[in-house]
Amino acid sequence: MRLALKRPSGFTLLEVIIVLAIGAVAYAILLSAVSRGASGADLKYAARMFASGLRQAQTTAMATRRDTLLTVDLDAREFTIPGVQEVQHLPKGIDLKLYTAQTEVVSERRGSIRFYPDGSSTGGRITVSSGERKYLVDVDWLTGRVSIGD
């Protein structure tokens, strides 16, 4: 009578190492694809920068009793306020959209939000986004109130 040798069940060490290597490569690819945009902190920072700049423009208009503009350059990802020497630059990887009154559109990629001496404004919205995440920086036309929403 012949005895059949029974092979032990399970995986060899080589098979386990190959599966772990494939998993590590897949995880690395997935991680790099997800982290291409700006971080959540950068996005929130950019929204707060815009809100601060808009409030500064409103305060300047009320203090000087003259119209004050916050001008946004979407391509350069920056904004300026007259009378303030420093141009405010936003972090890379952030997408911007500007919704404003037609009278304040300078070009397809550049426009402004105007504040009047009484505190009111032309109103508008600046959308700061990266991938699926976004913040909405709104300016109420009647009161000039600036708010940030998700």
Residue 79: CATH number of its domain: 3.55.40.10
Q: Containing H/E element for 74? A: none
Write out pLDDT tens, residues 80-128: 988 776 888 888 888 999 999 999 999 999 999 999 999 999 999 999 9
Percent of the chain with pLDDT over 70: 89
User: From CA 12, how far away is CA 52, in angstroms rounded?
Assistant: 61
Q: Please say whether the beta carbons of 134 and 148 come within 8 A.
A: no
34 occurs within a structural domain: no
User: From CA 130, how far away is CA 94, in angstroms rounded?
Assistant: 5
**Res 132: pLDDT:** 86
Residue 35 has pLDDT above 60, yes or no: no
133 occurs within a structural domain: yes
The boundaries of the domain holding residue 88 are 40-149
Of 112, 40, 107, 103, whose CA–CA distance to 69 is shortest? 112
137 occurs within a structural domain: yes
User: From CA 132, how far away is CA 73, in angstroms rounded?
Assistant: 22
Mean pLDDT within 46-58: 94
**Res 2: pLDDT:** 64
Domains in the chain, number? 1
Q: Which residues face 129 on adjacent strands?
A: 95, 134
